[in-house]
Amino acid sequence: MKARLFLAFQQVGADLFAAGLASATSGNYSVREREGLWITRSGVQKAHLTPDDLLWLPLKPDPERDQGASVERVIHRAVYRETDATAIVHAHPRHAIALSFHLGAILPIDLEGRYYFDQIPVVAPPTTSGTEEAARAVAEALRSHKACVVRGHGAFTKGTQEAPEKALLQAYSLMTSLEEACEVKFLERLWRGDSG
Ligand SMILES: [Zn+2]
């Protein structure tokens, strides 16, 4: 892996944790490269990624290479197969997750959120981790949107820039905008006493 791509992975892992967008070992990030993807290893401390924590997988499942890779690899693969994504960030933004229990789609009300997202679809596959159903639902949503939230679980954002390190930072940046939009919406609904 090129040094600047590794540095982008390190930056995204550290910044998402520092921003409270993921707990120490949750979340996973990937970039598309050649006929495969670089993805974070399962269960590692994302704020302290080392080169060993990143694995290259082919786009098709490969039992040998897949060992140790994030369980959400099935979702990442489906998104690369079916959308224009060149990078994917998955995290657990708290206000987005809280809103996802009540909304079928999140429509931002703040200026920045409205600039980046027409809407943020909420998908609700029967199970939420590493399944084909979840993969299909997320890929479908990311075909026409930059981000989606899996109900009660977390958000996925995509980067589409050509250079993988730029695409990863683009997806990361969208995750911060998504959570900011969701926090503003959450607080505004709280102020209005609208919990439904
Ligand atoms: Zn997750």
What pLDDT, in 10s, does the model give residues 102-161? 999 999 999 999 999 999 999 997 776 778 899 999 999 999 999 999 999 999 999 999
Total domain count for the chain? 1
* pLDDT given at position 126: 77
Please report, for the domain that includes residue 157, its CATH number: 3.40.225.10
* pLDDT given at position 193: 83
Is the predicted pLDDT of residue 13 greater than 70, yes or no? yes
Q: How far does the centroid of ligand 1 lie from the alpha carbon of residue 150, in Å?
A: 9
Q: How far does the centroid of ligand 1 lie from the alpha carbon of residue 22, in Å?
A: 9
Determine the average pLDDT of the residues in 84-98.
98
Place of tokens 């050649």: 34
Q: How far does the centroid of ligand 1 lie from the alpha carbon of residue 192, in Å?
A: 30
- Host domain of residue 134: 3-192
Beta strands in 20-135 (DSSP E): 28-33, 36-40, 54-58, 87-91, 105-106, 120-123
In the structure, ligand 1 is a single-atom ion and the residues with CB under 5 Å from it are 154
What mean pLDDT is reported for the chain? 94
Q: Which of 110, 125, 122 is nearest to 147 (CA)?
A: 122
Q: How far does the centroid of ligand 1 lie from the alpha carbon of residue 193, in Å?
A: 29
Residue with more model confidence, 34 or 110: 110
